[in-house]
Amino acid sequence: MLEWKLDQFLDTLWDTEGHDILQRALHQTPQRQEDYQSKYYTLDGIYTANIRRMLELQDVTLERRLKNITRMAENIEIAQGQKLARRARLKQQNDKAEQRRIEKAQRN
């Protein structure tokens, strides 16, 4: 899906002479070093390959953020579970203490 969106985005890019970058630059393998320094720029003056690389890096960054958010959510769930378990344990201890007080009061 990301590849399709990237290709769709790259379809909108044109070089300085109005040629379709996708047809002229992406599907042609440069044979010489001069081809890497060709006139095929985006409107902002960035090579299409750099845009592709930036989008890939952005995708990696978003994946890392998603993993971090997922880990944080799991930590929150664990913390909430521990908090509930702690409350249940305290309630159980208080109930036992109350029961012992009642038994002690009944004996006296």
SS3 31: coil
CB neighbours of 52 closer than 8 A, spacing ≥ 6? 6, 10
Encode pLDDT of 50-92 as tens digits: 777 777 888 888 888 888 888 898 989 999 999 999 999 999 9
> Is the whole-model pTM more than 0.95?
no
Element (H, E) at 16: none
How many angstroms from the chain centroid is the CA of residue 33?
36
Lowest model confidence (mean pLDDT) among 4-8, 36-40, 93-97, 101-105: 36-40
- pLDDT at residue 33 in the model: 45
Q: How many angstroms separate the CA atoms of 105 and 26, rounded? A: 88
